Amino acid sequence: MASKAKDPAVLWYWNDWHGGTITFSRHLKGCYMDLLYAQFNNGHLSLEEIRTVLGTDFSHWDTLQKKFARDAAGKFFNEKLDRVKAERKAFSEKQSLRAKNGWDKRSGNAAALPIENENANEVVKDLKKVCAENISELRTDVIFHEQVCMATGLAMEKTKKYLETFISQKIIGDELAKPLNDCRSHFVNWVKIEIKKEERGKPGQFNGKFPDYYDDKLVKTMDGAQLSKYRQHLHGLGLVPKKNRFQEVIDYIPKEQAS
């Protein structure tokens, strides 16, 4: 039976890879990937190690070098890979610690508590560091802000206000210590939910009397209970929902037209 792979695993972010290598040939992408694999398994790379990895393709190093920074010892490393690996390691240690805490509590293993507390302090420090780095990235990543604007239809100023609210809510606990792309996805989904809440909270035409037809604008002003009653009202009139290809309700029509 094959053993289970251990963290930290390689997290593959397709959009980041595609955007960052769009000007690379397929051959260059392969060389770049070999260097990333080498860094992941062996740490920061000396020039000689890079020469060994690339072999006869070392002539491409001048092009690939822009993807790497240098540390105090003069070794080369990809900054994003370092950060993602650290994020995953911190997250994995946190999950492991939770499992251990649960076991120790159930088994009454008091002897393990001093070591457990020491490990917990280190994990907390790591999580705080990752959290701070993620918040900085979320606040300064202009391209990500533009993507959020495109995905939600919000203006840039509004997007930034939502982001600050999101950070203030999620900084409690460890929600912002997850991998950066998870934080980005979480923010986009959170914004969409908040927009829907605001739309339903806006004053509309609803006055307690339901119309005998489907009114999409009116629906957006209703809360959950009102919407349920409105649907029951339409069903009572012999109307059934008509959906688009995304399975979203766009109208209510007579049953005979739906068949």
Average pLDDT over residues 78-82: 86
Q: How far apart are CA 105 and CA 118, in angstroms?
A: 17
Final residue belonging to a domain, choices 92, 110, 128? 110
Average pLDDT for 45-73: 93
> What's residue 95's pLDDT?
66
Q: Reduced to 3 DSSP states, what percent helix, strand and coil does the chain have, rounded to the nearest 5?
A: 70, 5, 25
Residue 44 lies in a domain: yes
Q: Which helix (H) or strand (E) holds 251?
A: strand 249-254
Boundary of a domain, candidates 156, 172, 201? 201
Residues 227 and 172 in one domain: no
98 shares its domain with 179:
no
- Tell me the β-bridge partners of 155: none
> Looking at the predicted structure, is the pLDDT value of residue 25 above 90?
yes
Give the C-alpha separation, 244 to 251, whole Å.
Answer: 9
For the segment 147-180, what is each residue's pLDDT rounded down to a tens digit?
A: 888 888 889 999 999 999 988 887 766 677 778 8
Is residue 108 predicted with pLDDT exceeding 60?
A: no
**What pLDDT score does 115 carry?**
45
Query: Do residues 36 and 63 share a domain?
Result: yes
Q: Within this chain, do residues 175 and 222 fall inside the same structural domain, yes or no?
A: no
User: What does the pLDDT read at residue 197?
Assistant: 73
pLDDT for the residue numbered 12: 65
* Integer CA distances (angstroms), 219 to 36, 116, 213, in order: 51, 53, 11
Residue 79 near residue 87 (C-beta atoms within 8 A): no
In a domain, 3, yes or no: no
- On average, the pLDDT of the chain sits at 79
- What residues form DSSP beta bridges with 45? 76
pLDDT beyond 80 at 88: no
pLDDT of residue 84: 79
Q: Would you call 125 helix, strand, or coil by DSSP?
A: helix
Q: Does the structure show a pLDDT above 80 at 259?
A: no
- How many angstroms separate the first and last alpha carbons of the chain? 53
Radius of gyration of the CA atoms of the chain, in A: 26
Residues 105 and 175 in one domain: no
Query: If we measure between CA atoms, which residue out of 88, 78, 104 comes closest to residue 17?
Result: 78
* pLDDT for position 196: 79
Average pLDDT over residues 228-253: 86
If asked whether residues 254 and 169 sit together in one domain, one would say no
Residue 132 lies in a domain: no
Per the domain annotation, does 209 fall within a domain?
no
Number of structural domains in the chain = 3
Query: Could you tell me what percent of the chain has a pLDDT over 90?
Result: 21
Give the type of residue at 167. Answer: I
Query: CA angle at residue 95 from 93 to 99, to 5 degrees?
Result: 115
Q: What confidence category does residue 66 fall into, taking pLDDT thresholds of 50, 70 and 90? A: very high
Instruction: Please report whether residue 126 resides in a domain.
Output: no
Question: Do 21 and 104 have their domain in common?
Answer: yes
Say whether both 172 and 239 belong to one domain.
no
Determine, yes or no, domain membership for 72.
yes
- Domain boundaries, position 92: 9-110
- Name which of 195, 37, 11, 184 is nearest 91 in CA terms: 11
Q: Are 129 and 123 in contact (CB under 8 A)?
A: no
User: Is the residue at 76 inside a domain?
Assistant: yes
DSSP characters for 184-226? Answer: HHHHHHHHHHHHHHHHHHS--S--S---SS--HHHHTT--HHH
pLDDT higher than threshold 80 for residue 87: no
Residue 254 bridge partners (DSSP): 239
Q: Count CA within 13 A, CB hemisphere, residue 92.
A: 13
Q: Are residues 48 and 97 in the same domain?
A: yes
- pLDDT, residue 3, reads 47
- Give the pTM: 0.39
Same structural domain, 102 and 172: no
pLDDT at 34 exceeding the cut of 90: yes
pLDDT at residue 113, as a whole number = 47
**192-223 per-position pLDDT tens digit:** 888 877 765 554 445 667 888 888 777 777 77
Tell whether 166 is covered by a domain.
Answer: yes
Average pLDDT of span 48-59: 95
The pLDDT value recorded for residue 65 is 93
Q: Identify residue 193 by its one-letter amino acid code.
A: I
